[in-house]
Amino acid sequence: MLFLSVYSTPKKNKKSIYKLIKLNAMRKSWLIVSFLFLGLIGYAQVNTLEINAEGSTQQISKNIYGQFAEHLGRCIYDGIWVGKDSKIPNINGYRKDLLEALQALHVPVLRWPGGCFADTYHWKNGVGPVADRPKIKNVFWGGTVENNEFGTHEFLNLCEMLGCDAYISANVGSGTVGEMVDWIEYMTSDDDVPMANWRRQNGREEPWTNVKFLGIGNESWGCGGDMTPEFYADKLRQFSVYAKMYGGTKFQRVGCGSNGPDYNWTSVLMEKGRGSMDALSLHYYTIATGKWEDKRSATGFGEDLYFGGLKQALKMDEIVTKSSQIMDEKDPQKRIGLFVDEWGIWTDVEPGTEPGHLFQQNTMRDALIASETMDIFNHHSDRVKMANIAQMVNVLQAMILTRGDKMVLTPTYHVFKMYAVHQDANLLKDKLTCEKYKFGEEEIPAISSSSSIDKNGKIHISLSNVNPNKEIQLAVKLNGKNIKKVNSATVLTAPAINSFNSFDKPNVIAPAEFKNYKKAGDNSLTVTLPAKSIVVLEVE
């Protein structure tokens, strides 16, 4: 319209119209440049992590990085224990390679003997001469016959070898208060009483000092007795009073908590049982489809189930947050810890294996699920005081897989080793602003992070880029502290989202030195995170 009006305008006015056209063009160009500039600035600021590097007092308990070993499938036998006469190299019956791998992991606490198995386990069957120990049937997991070769002595001695604390699950579902009291005395008493004397007779003179946690039942809402929360609260009070009477302050009593988002269970236990426990447990498993009956393959998946697994894992934050809020109402001083003593991804078993043995592979997706989840626990460390991944060897999201004399370290093992730097360090409050990872109509944050400062003043920053399709540049700023140098940086990534370490190719996914960062000022770093990767930086 403006162009046409030039030719229909008297000559004396055409000059002013040309000036107007030129001015409009300049204004449009400036607007375009401005929008592009602001867009670039906005993009640069999308991914930022601001860390408050001073004044931290909230400790991340080392027990958040705990493990779980149940008499299930090949977790104990062929996994941890091969027997003293095995051709597989062992130390008094324990796999030598596995012991060395677990020692390098700095395992802080180990939960045993279950799981569902705990509420059918009668501990007296697992002590004394091995030849005299009766066999039992594992009714929960594949109907396997359990020979009780691995019992109380074998477990507590293992904890001593690993330098970790023991978390014992007492049998409430099919056991008695008297049975539990006898077990407490057997493990922890130095008195001249029958159970302590029986322990001495069985070769252990001094009591074990590493029994620090006693679970009062397991999944009492399900396989541990199918109880209502009100009924279990009464059981908790009954068992706990005798546990304290005979155990004193040697250990913390752990009440059986909810199945994921069962907030009514949590509310009833905090109302009726809070005086009878020192901690309350919580179980939540990640199912990539979100449907318990539809778990799918551990390795044969595409981006839909990759995204689904990560999204479902993030629900842990909502469950922990809401559970903590309920606990805060009755326990504002946070005396009672929240123990997430079973967590991890649950998939279909590997083809050709016993369904009841829960042997599954472990991929890069699972490593990212682990890093996301541990970031959540770190941020909630004011209430979350323990977590135990399910499980340590050959079961579900395992640290280690074994087959004969071969052993594989899984991607999840490597994440636990990388994150060990947070154990007993102080959480650094932070603010993460990041882009989204979108799949279809859904989206989740593309980055997960947590930061801490250890007793030596070293700052550790854990970062995960869950987007499998692009690298992401992140601006990291320490408020209140200048960065002298980056002492070390490690990255874990993989060729594909469903890559895994096999017995034939055990190092497809392994930590490597990370170099894709640079200082961006006295207190800032620019970090370029590879697609589907986990990075841990040590800064001072």
Indicate if the pLDDT at residue 42 is higher than 50: no
Determine, yes or no, domain membership for 2.
no
Strands (E), 383-458: 384-390, 400-403, 406-409, 426-427, 430-433, 436-439, 442-445, 447-453
Q: Is this prediction's pTM over 0.85?
A: yes
Determine, yes or no, domain membership for 39.
no
Nearest CA to 362 out of 415, 312, 315 is that of 415
Same domain, 396 and 506: no
Q: How many CB atoms lie within 10 A of CB 28?
A: 10
> Among residues 400, 427, 454, which one ends one of the domains?
427
pLDDT at 134: 96
Determine, yes or no, domain membership for 453.
yes
Same domain, 92 and 133: yes
Same domain, 472 and 387: no
The catalytic position among 219, 230, 271, 303 is 219
Indicate if the pLDDT at residue 111 is higher than 80: yes
Same domain, 442 and 410: no
Residue 46 — pLDDT band, cuts 50, 70, 90? confident
Determine, yes or no, domain membership for 513.
yes
What letter represents residue 539's amino acid? V
Three-state DSSP class for 28? helix
Average pLDDT score over residue span 366-378: 98
pLDDT at 215: 98
Residue 23 — pLDDT band, cuts 50, 70, 90? very low
| Average pLDDT of the chain to the nearest whole number | 92
Tokens standing for residue 341: 């003593």
Indicate if the pLDDT at residue 39 is higher than 50: no
Residue 404 — pLDDT band, cuts 50, 70, 90? very high
Nearest CA to 403 out of 344, 352, 464, 327 is that of 352
With beta carbons less than 8 A apart as the criterion, state whether 136 and 145 touch.
yes
Nearest CA to 412 out of 474, 481, 362 is that of 362
Indicate if the pLDDT at residue 22 is higher than 80: no
Same domain, 481 and 393: no
Residue 222 CA: distances (Å) to CA of 3, 119, 232, 257: 79, 11, 11, 11
With beta carbons less than 8 A apart as the criterion, state whether 216 and 256 touch.
yes
DSSP for 68-81, written as a single string: E--SSTTSTBTTTB
Same domain, 170 and 144: yes
pLDDT at 29: 46
With beta carbons less than 8 A apart as the criterion, state whether 327 and 320 touch.
no
> Which residues does residue 390 pair with via DSSP β-bridges, in sequence order?
68
Q: Which residue has the tokens 């078993």?
A: 349
Determine, yes or no, domain membership for 346.
yes
Same domain, 413 and 442: no
Question: What is the CATH classification number for the domain harbouring 505?
Answer: 2.60.40.1180
Q: Write out pLDDT tens, residues 191-219.
A: 999 999 999 999 999 999 999 999 999 99
Indicate if the pLDDT at residue 21 is higher than 60: no
Determine, yes or no, domain membership for 481.
yes
pLDDT at 199: 98
Query: φ, ψ for residue 169 (rounded to 5)?
Result: -100, 115
> Among residues 427, 446, 473, which one ends one of the domains?
427
Number of domains within the chain: 2
Indicate if the pLDDT at residue 40 is higher than 60: no
Same domain, 161 and 269: yes
Same domain, 398 and 447: no
With b for 16 or more beta-carbon neighbours within 10 A and e for fewer, the 456-467 pattern comes to eeebbbbbbbbb
| Cα–Cα distance, 358 to 72 (Å, whole number) | 8
Same domain, 207 and 334: yes
Query: φ, ψ for residue 539 (rounded to 5)?
Result: -125, 145
Residue 36 — pLDDT band, cuts 50, 70, 90? very low
With b for 16 or more beta-carbon neighbours within 10 A and e for fewer, the 375-393 pattern comes to bbbbbbbbbbbbbbbbbbb
Indicate if the pLDDT at residue 117 is higher than 80: yes
Alpha-helical regions (H) of 290-344: 303-313, 315-330
Q: Write out pLDDT tens, residues 434-473.
A: 999 999 999 999 999 999 999 999 999 999 999 999 999 9
pLDDT at 56: 84
| Cα–Cα distance, 329 to 411 (Å, whole number) | 39
> Among residues 378, 398, 427, which one ends one of the domains?
427
Question: What is the CATH classification number for the domain harbouring 80?
Answer: 3.20.20.80
Q: Which residue has the tokens 């016993």?
A: 354
Q: Which residues contact 1 (CB under 8 A, 6 or more apart)?
A: none
Radius of gyration of the chain (CA): 28
Same domain, 149 and 219: yes
| Cα–Cα distance, 94 to 96 (Å, whole number) | 6
- Domain range for 389 is 62-427
Query: Helices (H), strands (E): how many in the chain?
Result: 12, 27
Nearest CA to 258 out of 343, 356, 180, 138 is that of 343
pLDDT at 55: 76
- Residue 293 designated active-site: no
Q: Write out pLDDT tens, residues 272-306.
A: 999 999 999 999 999 999 999 999 999 999 999 99
Helix 263-272 vs helix 315-330: crossing angle, to nearest 10: 20
Determine, yes or no, domain membership for 375.
yes
Tokens standing for residue 315: 């629900």
The catalytic position among 70, 146, 185, 342 is 342
- Residue 50 designated active-site: no
Determine, yes or no, domain membership for 24.
no
> Which residues does residue 380 pair with via DSSP β-bridges, in sequence order?
none
Same domain, 192 and 326: yes
Q: Which residue has the tokens 């699972």?
A: 366
